[in-house]
Amino acid sequence: MRTFIAIPLPQEIKAFLAELQNELKTSGAEVKWVEPENIHLTLKFLGERDDKKIKEISNILEEAVKNKKQFLARLSTLGAFPKITSPRVIWVGIDRGDEETKLIAAELEEKISRTGIPKEEKAFSSHITIARTKSSKNIAELIKGLNVCADKLGEEKAEFPVRQIVLYKSTLTPKGPIYQALKEVNLKTI
């Protein structure tokens, strides 16, 4: 099964990000938007894994997270990979909570690599993917929208508590992926 580990987002943050998506949609660009209910912060993409490996990863997740404390995260920037002037993946970054997120991701990366799953080649970046471009149609309008929304995002200071880390199963369908929690591990209360 196709799997990943992520930080789930509260409904109010998903709603805020959906509003941001709606503003960007006015550009008319050809973009595949992440469904608001599926928006999350990925810590580690695991790819296709069998039940035995899933059990092993579940145990690693529990071990890696059990002594970590809950923390606050804050949306900070709007950006794109490879860069905002040629967007392929549109994302929202975090500033507050970035250090904690990176520490958890690094620990998961290290422990999971011992199971034979290779480490990521690129350094981890705390970001929430909200869209992927499908073509260059109306890309100039999209870039203008990204810059306008980036300024707005900086003023909002949308914060949210990070209370758990989840191992998800992703089932790909013609209407988009369906995510199912396989393992939820709560962070310690402060």
pLDDT tens by residue, 36-46: 999 999 999 99
Q: What's residue 66's pLDDT?
A: 85
pLDDT band at 161 (very low <50, low <70, confident <90, very high): very high
Q: What pLDDT, in 10s, does the model give residues 96-132?
A: 999 999 999 999 999 999 999 999 998 999 999 999 9
pLDDT score at 49: 94
Tokens 């002037």 belong to residue? 85
Annotation marks residue 40 as catalytic: yes
Judge whether residue 184 has pLDDT over 80.
Answer: yes
Is the predicted pLDDT of residue 157 greater than 90, yes or no? no
Residue 144 makes CB contacts below 8 A (sequence gap 6+) with 27
pLDDT at 155: 67
- Domain extents in the chain: 2-185
Catalytic residue among 40, 44, 49, 183: 40
pLDDT at 152 over 80: no
Task: Calculate the average pLDDT of the chain.
Answer: 93
Q: If DSSP codes are grouped into helix, strand and coil, which group holds residue 17? A: helix
Taking only the tens place, the pLDDT of each residue in 122-134 is: 899 999 999 999 9
Kindly report the pTM of this predicted structure.
Answer: 0.93
The answer to whether 66 touches 124, Cβ cutoff 8 Å, is no
Of the residues 127, 131, 168, 183, which is catalytic?
127
What is the band of 6 on the pLDDT scale with cuts at 50, 70, 90? very high
Q: Is the pLDDT of residue 84 over 90?
A: no
Q: How far apart are CA 17 and CA 93, in angstroms?
A: 12
Total Cβ atoms within 10 A of residue 46: 20
Has residue 154 got a pLDDT over 80? Answer: no
| Domain over 2-185 is classified CATH 3.30.360.10 | no
Q: Is the pLDDT of residue 48 over 80?
A: yes
CA dihedral angle for residue 80, residue 175, residue 23, residue 130, rounded to 10 degrees: -30
111 contacts: CB under 8 Å, gap ≥ 6: 60, 63, 64
User: What is the pLDDT at residue 29?
Assistant: 95
What's the confidence (pLDDT) of residue 71? 97
CA separation for the pair 73, 14 (Å, rounded)? 14
Residue 127 falls in the annotated catalytic set: yes
Q: What is the pLDDT of residue 37?
A: 95
